[in-house]
Amino acid sequence: MSKLVIVGTVAFDAIETPFGKTDKILGGAATYIGLSASQFNTDSAIVSVVGGDFPEADIAMLQNKGINMEGLEIIKDGKTFFWSGKYHNDMNSRDTLITELNVLENFDPKVPAEYRNAEVVMLGNLHPMVQMGVINQMKNPKMVVLDTMNFWMDVALEDLKKVISKVDVITINDEEARQLSGEYSLVNAAKKIMTMGPAYVVIKKGEHGALLFHENKMFFAPALPLAEVFDPTGAGDTFAGGFTGYLAKTGTYSFENMKRAIIYGSCLASFCVEKFGTERMQHLKKEEVNKRLHEFKSLTQYDIELT
Amino acid sequence: MSKLVIVGTVAFDAIETPFGKTDKILGGAATYIGLSASQFNTDSAIVSVVGGDFPEADIAMLQNKGINMEGLEIIKDGKTFFWSGKYHNDMNSRDTLITELNVLENFDPKVPAEYRNAEVVMLGNLHPMVQMGVINQMKNPKMVVLDTMNFWMDVALEDLKKVISKVDVITINDEEARQLSGEYSLVNAAKKIMTMGPAYVVIKKGEHGALLFHENKMFFAPALPLAEVFDPTGAGDTFAGGFTGYLAKTGTYSFENMKRAIIYGSCLASFCVEKFGTERMQHLKKEEVNKRLHEFKSLTQYDIELT
């Protein structure tokens, strides 16, 4: 088993979907990543920042999942990052209603000393220079995974490109892959992005699954078709948490193992959307994950004799 | 091996994509279905109608693929069905520029006597009453597959429902499945459509693959991600031709075999879009299909030990 460092927001979210709305609830990329990765009982640490308004109970909950929280800076007189969004009826698009950076504005991440030798690093969506600050603290990580979004391509492309050149895996959605590469075809987009640094490109297509590219190889994992999607918030981060959690647990970075990691990521993300916020992930049982892996297998596996 | 009856348009298309445009070229659902199914050397027959303007060379080409063309009615003083369309830059949507029904307006399909005992029937997209006319001529088919589209849901829903109640498989796209069922989730949509008659529902999601539903079972086949999509015309029909061609070849209708048929359909459709019109399918070699099946397998198959 390898150590896993998770950098990203720990936040409050207020979410509205066609099924209802929430007050301020626990959210943030690092929260979802950490909860998802904790399914593998990995030795993980969250590096993030919150304000004095952040509940101790939430920190305790994450610690109870086995996540080291020493890297969570608490700025007593500051306020926690807050995001509010409203999903459209199709659940595939959303409007951001409120973004209050608060303590995130001057976030200076500090990786706890005993996690600087972690093999796997998951850089959740943040300003590229903050992500770079974390990379610079690590000693010889084997697998640095970067999540980012179109916002940074718009406002900090040069910084973003510097970080991209330093990572092993980038995870972005299809539109972002097109924006970053200037290529419409995802195959060509992935090829171009690989020339920018990462040996692996993961393109997330939401309900349409995820693609993994490496050299001339390509692997696809569908999203499990669900009767009801309740709240898509955090699905991408839950995917990333399953992906990196599995890699850290196994400590193996072959393409075959990356494929399994993608399947675990998809599997875990399928739970995240079943309830509001982190609720489903907080109470997810190992037996439920195993059962769903069987469903994934029957969804995707077939037997054709090839000649 | 079982016989396969294919009903649908044999037509002229004029196509414009971001890569170029064509004059009137060979097209039509039955043409694409027949070409695709011919990869399995099945005993198939096309039932359709053309005008006196239709080239004998195109009929000969289809015959040379082993397709029985006795059911192709030629109306000497009529004109062949003509469709013209222009694809948008994303290739996922298109505008119909011209639809000239011509001889299709009074099409009265006649299945050749020696094909009325065919086990597999592929009803390409046509007026539901024309499709029903074919069903009524068949003697105990084992697998009747219906393709249709939103247009018939808009203008002939009651007729369409009657046909749907008579078939074993329906193939429609995701938006059409939602329109027909009134359900947004594809899982719920498929369940509802199964109560309307078909034991199997295939939902085509274009570049996002295809889903097969049967009882409580679900199977997914991705579309092969391609560096370049040249012309999407006929991809859905090519999928249907691969699906029914494989079923007719094997004469086995288990869920496991339906899954294989879906993979063959996806595999063949991935060729269709590589060139304008039917060009790629006319010259497709068995070795190329085998090679691409290997690519499908490496795209989708993984090895996770389940507990």
ipTM of the complex model: 0.91
Is the pLDDT at A77 greater than 70? The verdict is yes
Categorize the per-residue pLDDT at A305 as very low, low, confident or very high, splitting at 50, 70 and 90.
confident
**In angstroms, rounded to a whole number, what is the distance separating the alpha carbons of residues B93 and B221?**
21
Q: Does position B307 have pLDDT exceeding 70, yes or no?
A: no
Decide if pLDDT at A182 tops 90: yes
Kindly report the nearest CA distance between residue B192 and chain A, in angstroms.
Answer: 12
**Which residues 157-186 of B have a C-beta within 8 angstroms of A?**
184-186
- Residue B306 pLDDT > 90: no
Average pLDDT rounded to a whole number, residues A76-87: 96
Provide CB contacts within 8 A for A30, sequence distance 6+.
A6, A7, A8, A9, A10, A46, A47, A48, A124, A237
pLDDT level of residue B53 (50, 70, 90 thresholds): very high
- Pairing status of strand A94-100 against strand A82-87: antiparallel
Give the domain ranges of chain B. 3-300
Residues of B in contact with A256 (CB under 8 A): 302-303
Contact in structure between A231 and A20 (CB atoms under 8 Å):
no
Contact B215/A at CB under 8 A: no
Contact at CB, B90 and A301, closer than 8 angstroms: no
- pLDDT above 80: residue B139: yes
Does residue A216 belong to the interface with chain B, where contact is any CB pair within 8 Å? no
Q: Lowest-confidence range among A52-61, A130-139, A185-194, B13-22?
A: B13-22
Specify the CATH architecture of the domain A3-300.
3-Layer(aba) Sandwich (3.40)
Condensed to tens digits (0 to 9), the pLDDT of residues A48-61 reads 999 999 999 999 99
Chain-centroid distance, C-alpha A277: 14
Q: A175: part of which helix (H) or strand (E)?
A: helix A174-181
Q: Do A260 and B222 count as a contact with CB atoms less than 8 A apart?
A: no
Q: Does A219 touch chain B (CB under 8 A)?
A: yes
Neighbours of A241 (CB within 10 A): 36
Q: How far is B277 from chain A (nearest CA, A)?
A: 20
CB contact under 8 A, B263 and A302: yes
- How close is the nearest chain A Cα to the Cα of B6, in Å? 25
Neighbour tally for A69: CB within 10 Å: 19
- A-chain residues within 8 Å CB-CB of B302? 219, 256, 259-260, 263, 300
Strand partners, B44: B4, B67
The answer to whether A282 contacts chain B (CB < 8 Å) is no
Residue B307 to residues A266, A269, B70: CA-CA distances in angstroms? 18, 20, 56
Chain A interface includes B302 (CB < 8 A): yes
Instruction: Count CB-CB contacts under 10 A for residue B220.
Output: 26
pLDDT of residue A307: 67
Q: Which residue of B has its CA nearest to A230?
A: B185
Judged by CB atoms closer than 8 Å, whether chains meet at B218 and A301 is answered as: no
Q: Do B297 and A303 touch (CB under 8 A)?
A: no
pLDDT digits (tens, 9 = 90+) for B280-301: 999 999 999 999 999 999 999 9
Nearest CB partner across the interface for A299, out of B185, B219, B290: B219
Residue window 250-269, chain A: list those with CB within 8 Å of chain B.
256, 259-260, 263
Q: Across the interface, which of B187, B228, B260 has its CB nearest the CB of A302?
A: B260
Between chain A and chain B, the number of residue pairs with CB atoms below 8 A apart is 96
Subunit contact A218:B188, Cβ cutoff 8 A: no
Q: Identify the bridge partners of residue A146 per DSSP, sorted by sequence position.
A: A123, A170
**Which residues in chain B are closer than 8 Å to A294, comparing Cβ atoms?**
306
Q: Select from B207, B214, B219, B220 the residue whose CB has the most chain A CBs within 10 Å, as the one to mutate to test that interface.
A: B220
Q: Is there a contact between B302 and A256 if contact means CB atoms under 8 Å apart? A: yes
Contacts of B299 in chain A (CB under 8 A): 218-220
State whether B300 and A220 contact (CB < 8 Å): yes
Mean pLDDT of all residues in chain A? 96
**Mean pLDDT (chain B, rounded):** 96
Cα torsion through A77, A81, A86, A87, rounded to 10:
-150
Partner-chain contact B227 A184, CB within 8 Å:
no
Mean pLDDT of A173-179: 96
Enter the tokens of residue B233: 């015309």
- Cβ-based contacts of B218 with chain A (< 8 Å): 225, 298-299
Q: Is pLDDT of A99 > 90?
A: yes
- B28 CA to centre of own chain: 10
Cβ-Cβ contacts under 8 Å, A208 against chain B: 205, 208-209
Is A298 in contact with B89 (Cβ distance < 8 A)?
no
pLDDT for A178 beyond 80: yes
Residue of B nearest to A229 (CA): B185
**Minimum distance, in Å, between the CA of residue A301 and any CA atom of chain B:** 7
> Which region holds residue A92: left if phi is over 0, alpha if psi is between -120 and 50, else beta?
alpha
- Å between A186 CA and nearest CA of chain B: 7
- Check whether A200 has a pLDDT greater than 70: yes
Instruction: Tell me if chain B has a CB within 8 Å of the CB of A307.
Output: yes
Q: What's the mean pLDDT in B43-58?
A: 98
Q: How far apart are CA A90 and CA B228, in angstroms?
A: 28
Tell me which residue in B185, B227, B256 faces A188 most closely, judged by beta carbons.
Answer: B227
> With an 8 Å Cβ cutoff, is A215 touching chain B?
no
Instruction: Examine the pLDDT at A306 and tell me if it is beyond 80.
Output: no
By Cβ distance, the residue of B228, B298, B302 closest to A260 is B302
